[in-house]
């Protein structure tokens, strides 16, 4: 079946503009995660959705970052008033619920803020 897809694959934006990144998880996976991978760094957890429960937003770095998940499927990560330090690869993953299950990662969106 289809894997996790993300769009766009690349995004270049000017400082101060808003951007939206999209994630389509694997059908049937109720858990969805967003991570950020900066150059030379490991993955940084941003936010977690599980079914209809309130999301775990503990990893969001500032109030400029927000995410939603509509209908328990597609998710959108929004970054408002982008800054240069937001430049990174944003990765989405989906899985069955719980930390014991494998997370399936999308190819990522490379965001460059100029």
Partner 1 sequence: AQSVTQLDSHVSVSEGTPVLLRCNYSSSYSPSLFWYVQHPNKGLQLLLKYTSAATLVKGINGFEAEFKKSETSFHLTKPSAHMSDAAEYFCVVSQTGANNLFFGTGTRLTVIP
Interface with partner 1 by CB under 8 A: which residues?
3-4, 33, 35, 40-45, 48, 50, 56, 59, 91, 93, 98-100, 102-103, 105-108
Compare residues 36 and 87 and give the one whose CB is closer to partner 1: 36
Length of the chain: 114
Q: Least distance from C-beta 41 to partner 1, angstroms?
A: 6
Residue 45: name the closest of 68, 69, 61, 26 by CA: 61
Question: Is cis: bond before 8, omega within 30 of 0?
Answer: yes
Compare residues 87 and 94 and give the one whose CB is closer to partner 1: 94
> For the chain, give me the number of helices (H) and strands (E)?
0, 10
Compare residues 34 and 82 and give the one whose CB is closer to partner 1: 34
């Amino acid at each position: 079946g289809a894997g996790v897809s993300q769009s766009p694959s690349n995004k270049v934006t000017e400082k101060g503009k808003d951007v939206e990144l999209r994630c389509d998880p694997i059908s049937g996976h109720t858990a969805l995660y967003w991570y950020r991978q900066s150059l030379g760094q490991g993955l940084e957890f941003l936010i977690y959705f599980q079914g209809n429960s309130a999301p775990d937003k503990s990893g969001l770095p500032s109030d400029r970052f927000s995410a939603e998940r509509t209908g328990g499927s597609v998710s959108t990560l929004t970054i408002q008033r982008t800054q240069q330090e937001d430049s990174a690869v944003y990765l989405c993953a989906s899985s069955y619920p719980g930390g014991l299950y494998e997370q399936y990662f999308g190819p990522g969106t490379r965001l460059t803020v100029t």
